C-alpha cells in the first residue's frame, strides 16, 4: 500500500476515534489568556513563584509601613522585583497604587522599555495594559498582561515608599520559545491580545467554543428531571473518550440552601473515586447558600449556573446530582452538558475539584485549600470565611501561602489580596459582592462575621511537578482565631490525587448562622431614615470611663412633623424568626427616653437614658420582633426626656439581635 495513503488512513482513523495525537508547541504568554483549550495541559514551567510585600517576621506589616515592600533600594527608587529568565510575569496586584513612575527594564538594559505611572498600569488606557486584561474594584488593582523576558526583568518604582504589592511569575527551561516583550508588538501579539480582551469581556456568556481545540465538533446533551429527596440523577454519561466543554444547571434557585445537601459528582474513566464531589451550589460559587459569583469560567448568570473548565478524559465520564435531603418536594432541574469527542492527550491533566471545610479551624495551623502529591496545576479557588463572633472579621488579615515541590514560593499579604481585593470593611472597597473575570468578592457582612472571595488562574496557574500545599491563615498572626472556613479548589492532575476525596456528612456541611448578631452604627450600618427636621446625626469617638467609645450620635430639637423624632437603621438578619432587640448606648445628662417601634406601634417599654454623668450603658433589651431573613429596618423613637435631662440625645453604640427560636 502507498505509504502516503496509509498515513491518511491512519489519520482518519485517529480522528474518527476522537483522539488528538499531536499538540501545538508550548502555548505561552498572551495566547494563554484566550486559549482555554490548552488549560488542562501540564505546564512546562520549572518554577512558579511570587514577589510580595509580606512581613518576613511573621507579623502583620505586609505593606503598611513599606518596610518589606522592595527587594533592593537604589538612589532614585525601589526595586520591587528582580527576576531571572526565561520567564513571564503573569499578574501584578496592589491596593495602593500611586502616581509614582514604575519602570520595567528587560535583559539587563538600563533604559526601561515600559515607563508608566503605577496607577495607570491598571486603568486600561496605557497599552499594553488594556481593559479588561487590567482592572480595579473591591479595593484592589490588578493586571493580567503577560510580560515576557528572555534573560531578566527588573521592576523599579521611583518613589521613597511603596506599600502593598504582589507579582506572580513563572520561569521556563532555557529552550522555551520566549522572546522579550517588545514595545512595538507584532501583529500576532495584537491578535492574541484582542482575542484575550474579547474573551474576558464575555464573562457570564457561553464560551464553550473557546474550551475545545479548534475545529472540534461539539454536541449538547439536554436533560430535564425531578430530583426526589434521597435520590441520585444522572445528568450526563458516556462510554466514549472526549472532553466536557460546558456544564449548565438551571434554575439557580434549585441549588440554593444553607444545608449544602445537593451534591455534584463527576467521575472519569475507571476511577471509582469521584474527581468532583462537592456541594453543587458551592461548586458554582454560591456563598452561604446563595449565588454569589459570576466569573469567566464558573459561576451564575441570571438563573443559570455554568462551568466552562475544559475536562478531558480517556474512556468514559459520568455527571450526577445527588440529593441528601430526607424530605420535602422534588427539585426540578434542567441541565445541559456540552461534549466534544476529543480524548485526553498524554500531555493533559484530568480535572478535579475538592471541597474542604474546617469548622473550627485549628489554632496555630493555617486552613488548607488543597494538598496533594503528583504533577499538575491549581487553576482556581473559592473561599467562604466566617469568624467566631458577630461583628468581627479580623481573621481576614491572614496571608495565603503556597508550598510547591517542597519549597514555599508564594506568600500573600492578606486574605482579600489573594482575590485581587483590598481594604476589607471600607466603603467603596471590599464591602459587597463584586465579580470580575478572574476574581471577586463573594460578599462582606461584618455583623455575620462573613466574607469570602474567588480567584481563577490561567497563565498564573500554580504549576507543580511533585507536590503542592495551598493554605491561608485565619488570623493576623499565628492562626490564633478559630474560624469556619470552607473552600472549593479546582485543579488538573496527571495522575490520581493523594488528597481525601470523600465529603463530610450533611450535618457537618450546614451553614451556621449566629444566634446573636451585633451591629455597630458608628461604622457602616446603613441608615434607612431619620427625623425629617430639627435633628442632626454625627459619628463620634469619646473617652468614657477611661475607655474609647465609638457611637452614632443623634441630637433632636422637639417634635418631628409626624410625631416624636426617630431613627431607622437597616440591619441584615441571617434567618427568619423572633429576635430580642437590645442596644448599648451612652447614658448622660442630655440623653432622651427611647422606645422601639414596628409598624408605628410601640414594642416593649420606654428606656430612659438620662444619667448625671456620661457612662456606657449595659445591654438594654427594648423588645421582641418577628423578622424576615434579609434587611430589616429597626426604628427607634425618642419619645420624651427625663425632667432632669437637658436635651433629646441618642448616642447609640451597638444594636444586638438575639434569636429566641
CATH number at residue 540: 2.60.120.260
pLDDT of residue 185: 83
- Using a 10 angstrom Cβ sphere, with 0-12 exposed, 13-18 middle and 19 or more buried, the burial of residue 228 is middle
Q: Is residue 351 part of a domain?
A: no
Same domain? For 196 and 58 the reply is yes
Residue 125 has pLDDT above 90, yes or no: yes
Q: Is residue 22 part of a domain?
A: no
pLDDT of residue 336: 98
pLDDT over 70 percentage in the chain: 96
Same domain? For 334 and 190 the reply is no
pLDDT over 90 percentage in the chain: 93
Same domain? For 329 and 284 the reply is yes
pLDDT in tens, 490-543: 999 999 999 999 999 999 999 999 999 999 999 989 999 999 999 999 999 999
Same domain? For 139 and 245 the reply is no
Q: Is residue 13 part of a domain?
A: no
pTM: 0.94
Same domain? For 60 and 195 the reply is yes
In this structure, the strands spanning 331-340 and 219-227 are antiparallel
Q: Is residue 361 part of a domain?
A: no
Q: Is residue 121 part of a domain?
A: yes
Same domain? For 139 and 263 the reply is no
Q: Is residue 585 part of a domain?
A: yes
Same domain? For 166 and 309 the reply is no
Residue 20 has pLDDT above 80, yes or no: no
Per-residue pLDDT averaged across 374-378, rounded? 98
Answer with the one of 317, 345, 373 that is the final residue of a domain: 345
Answer with the one of 292, 316, 345 that is the final residue of a domain: 345
pLDDT of residue 14: 39
CA 418/CA 472 separation, integer angstroms: 9
Same domain? For 189 and 50 the reply is yes
Same domain? For 259 and 191 the reply is no
Same domain? For 195 and 249 the reply is no
Nearest of 260, 250, 303 to residue 281 by alpha carbon: 260
Residue 9 has pLDDT above 60, yes or no: no
Query: Which structural domain, as residue segments, surrounds residue 584?
Result: 517-659
Q: Is residue 445 part of a domain?
A: no
Q: Are 226 and 330 in contact (CB under 8 A)?
A: yes
Answer with the one of 327, 345, 363 that is the final residue of a domain: 345
Beta bridge pairs of residue 157: 78, 102
Same domain? For 247 and 184 the reply is no
The domain that holds 136 is classified in CATH as 2.60.120.1390
Per-residue pLDDT averaged across 189-208, rounded? 96
Residue 4 has pLDDT above 50, yes or no: no
Per-residue pLDDT averaged across 220-239, rounded? 97
Q: Are 167 and 51 in contact (CB under 8 A)?
A: yes
Number of domains forming the structure of the chain: 3
Same domain? For 237 and 106 the reply is no
Q: Are 262 and 323 in contact (CB under 8 A)?
A: yes
pLDDT of residue 197: 97
Q: Is residue 208 part of a domain?
A: no
The residue with greater pLDDT, 83 or 75, is 83
Q: What beta strand segments (E) does 374-515 contain?
A: 376-386, 400-404, 407-411, 434-435, 439-445, 450-456, 462-464, 467-472, 484-493
**Residue 302's pLDDT band (boundaries 50, 70, 90)?**
very high
pLDDT in tens, 314-363: 999 999 999 999 999 999 999 999 999 999 999 999 999 999 999 999 99
521 phi, psi to nearest 5 deg: -60, -20
Q: Using alpha carbons, list the distances in angstroms from residue 324 to 59, 279, 283, 330.
A: 43, 10, 16, 12
**Residue 93's pLDDT band (boundaries 50, 70, 90)?**
very high
Q: Are 395 and 518 in contact (CB under 8 A)?
A: no
Amino acid at each position: 500500500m502507498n505509504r502516503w495513503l496509509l498515513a491518511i488512513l491512519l489519520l482518519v482513523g485517529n480522528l474518527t476515534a476522537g483522539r488528538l495525537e499531536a499538540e501545538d508547541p508550548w502555548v505561552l504568554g498572551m495566547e494563554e489568556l484566550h486559549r482555554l483549550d490548552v488549560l488542562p495541559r501540564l505546564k512546562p514551567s520549572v518554577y512558579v513563584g511570587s514577589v510580595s510585600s509580606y512581613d518576613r517576621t511573621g507579623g502583620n506589616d505586609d505593606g503598611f509601613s513599606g518596610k518589606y515592600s522592595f527587594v533592593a533600594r537604589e538612589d532614585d527608587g525601589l526595586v520591587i522585583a528582580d527576576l531571572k529568565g526565561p520567564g513571564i510575569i503573569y499578574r501584578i496586584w496592589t491596593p495602593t497604587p500611586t502616581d509614582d513612575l514604575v519602570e520595567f527594564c528587560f535583559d539587563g538594559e538600563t533604559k526601561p522599555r515600559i515607563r508608566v505611572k503605577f496607577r495607570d498600569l491598571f486603568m486600561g488606557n496605557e497599552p499594553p495594559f488594556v481593559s479588561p486584561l487590567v482592572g480595579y474594584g473591591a479595593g484592589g488593582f490588578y493586571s493580567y498582561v503577560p510580560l515576557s523576558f528572555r534573560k531578566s526583568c527588573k521592576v523599579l518604582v521611583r518613589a521613597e515608599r511603596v506599600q502593598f504589592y504582589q507579582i506572580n511569575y513563572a520561569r521556563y527551561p532555557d529552550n522555551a520559545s520566549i522572546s522579550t516583550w517588545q514595545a512595538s508588538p507584532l501583529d500576532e501579539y495584537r491578535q492574541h491580545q484582542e482575542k484575550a480582551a474579547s474573551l474576558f469581556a464575555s464573562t457570564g456568556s457561553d464560551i464553550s467554543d473557546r474550551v475545545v481545540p479548534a475545529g472540534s465538533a461539539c454536541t449538547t446533551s439536554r436533560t430535564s428531571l425531578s430530583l426526589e429527596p434521597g435520590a441520585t440523577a444522572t445528568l450526563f454519561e458516556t462510554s466514549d473518550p472526549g472532553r466536557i466543554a460546558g456544564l449548565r444547571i438551571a434554575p439557580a434557585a434549585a441549588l440554593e440552601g444553607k444545608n449544602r445537601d445537593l451534591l455534584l459528582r463527576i467521575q472519569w474513566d475507571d476511577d471509582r473515586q469521584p474527581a468532583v464531589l462537592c456541594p453543587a451550589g458551592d461548586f458554582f460559587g454560591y456563598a452561604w447558600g446563595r449565588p454569589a459569583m459570576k466569573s469567566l469560567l464558573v459561576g451564575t448568570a441570571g438563573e443559570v449556573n455554568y462551568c466552562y473548565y475544559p475536562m478531558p478524559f480517556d474512556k468514559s465520564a459520568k455527571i450526577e446530582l445527588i440529593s441528601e435531603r430526607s424530605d420535602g418536594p422534588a427539585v426540578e432541574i434542567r441541565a445541559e452538558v456540552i461534549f466534544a469527542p476529543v480524548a485526553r492527550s498524554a500531555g493533559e491533566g484530568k480535572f478535579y475539584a475538592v471541597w474542604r471545610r474546617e469548622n473550627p479551624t485549628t489554632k496555630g495551623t493555617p486552613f488548607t485549600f488543597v494538598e496533594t502529591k503528583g504533577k499538575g496545576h491549581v487553576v482556581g479557588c473559592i473561599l467562604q470565611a466566617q469568624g467566631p463572633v458577630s461583628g468581627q472579621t479580623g481573621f481576614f488579615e491572614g496571608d495565603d501561602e503556597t508550598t510547591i515541590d517542597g519549597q514555599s514560593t508564594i506568600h500573600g499579604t492578606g486574605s482579600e489580596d489573594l482575590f485581587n481585593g483590598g481594604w476589607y470593611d471600607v466603603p467603596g472597597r471590599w464591602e459587597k459582592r463584586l465579580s470580575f473575570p478572574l476574581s471577586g468578592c463573594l460578599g462582606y457582612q461584618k455583623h455575620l462575621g462573613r466574607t469570602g472571595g474567588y480567584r481563577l488562574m490561567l497563565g498564573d496557574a500554580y504549576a507543580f511537578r511533585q507536590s503542592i500545599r495551598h493554605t491561608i491563615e485565619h488570623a493576623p498572626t499565628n492562626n490564633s482565631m478559630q474560624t469556619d472556613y470552607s473552600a472549593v479548589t479546582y485543579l488538573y492532575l496527571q495522575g490520581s490525587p493523594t488528597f481525601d476525596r470523600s465529603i463530610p456528612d450533611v450535618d457537618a456541611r450546614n451553614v451556621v448562622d449566629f444566634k446573636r448578631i451585633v451591629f455597630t452604627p458608628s461604622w457602616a450600618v446603613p441608615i434607612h431614615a431619620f427625623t425629617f427636621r430639627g435633628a442632626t446625626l454625627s459619628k463620634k469617638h469619646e473617652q468614657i470611663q477611661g475607655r474609647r467609645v465609638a457611637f452614632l450620635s443623634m441630637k433632636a430639637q422637639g417634635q418631628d412633623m409626624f410625631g416624636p423624632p426617630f431613627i431607622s437603621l437597616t440591619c441584615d438578619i441571617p434567618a427568619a424568626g423572633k429576635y430580642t432587640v437590645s442596644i448599648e448606648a451612652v447614658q448622660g445628662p442630655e440623653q432622651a427616653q427611647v422606645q422601639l417601634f414596628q409598624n408605628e406601634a410601640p414594642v416593649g417599654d420606654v428606656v430612659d437614658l438620662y444619667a448625671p454623668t456620661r457612662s456606657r450603658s449595659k445591654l438594654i433589651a427594648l423588645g421582641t420582633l418577628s423578622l424576615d431573613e434579609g434587611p430589616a429596618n429597626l426604628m427607634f423613637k425618642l419619645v420624651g426626656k427625663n425632667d432632669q435631662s437637658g436635651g433629646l440625645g441618642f448616642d447609640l453604640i451597638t444594636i444586638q439581635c438575639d434569636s429566641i427560636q
